[in-house]
Amino acid sequence: MLIAVVALLILWPLLVVIALLVKLDSAGPALFLQTRIGKDGRPFRVIKFRTMRHNVDNTAHKAFMRSFVRGEICPSQASNALYKPFDQAEVTRIGRILRRTSFDELPQLLNVLKGEMSLVGPRPNVPWEVAEYKEWHMERLAVLPGITGLAQVNGRSSIVFDTIVQYDIAYVRNQDPWLDLKILWRTFATVREPHGVM
């Protein structure tokens, strides 16, 4: 929480600029609020910068993510038009930049201050994804969800969901401040790459 406070004090001018750019780029609010499932299955509202056009139909995205959690779709198939979770045209111009840099995740520092998230931990899923969990997946809900995590710095966008959960469970069972620092350092290094980590 202390790191989150310091980060917000340093980054607030950048956050204001991003919010203004999101508003100017397309109609709709600058922030995107979505219910996610946190520690011990408790729901909370995650805060992100909006990267998609306002009020888009997310039916196809839901179907994709349900299949992904069930292990029916591999990440490599997402490049095929049949498996795209959403129309790329629905992502705003600013949204593409925010996703590439993972800056859309920065408002989650407020979730950290509220005690709903941590800087490091498993990424929180939406309720309809959690509904598809296998029983052993539930262990990833034993800790606060994180802005970044072990899976995010080990190929988040290119590994199957079961592998993501295995990384998350490894983190749950081996929590350590030094591990958190290593993950944070690797996150800063990875977000400089073309596709980010979040």
Which pLDDT tens digit goes with each residue over 136-158?
Answer: 999 999 999 999 999 989 876 67
- Please check whether residue 49 is in contact with residue 25, taking contact to mean a CB–CB distance below 8 angstroms: no
143 is written with which tokens?
């800790």
Q: How does residue 55 score in pLDDT terms, banded at 50, 70 and 90?
A: confident
Which pLDDT tens digit goes with each residue over 3-28?
Answer: 999 999 999 999 999 999 999 999 99
Residue 150 identity (one-letter amino acid): L
> Residue 44 to residues 3, 47, 55, 104: CA-CA distances in angstroms?
21, 10, 21, 18
Phi/psi of residue 35, nearest 5 degrees? -70, 125
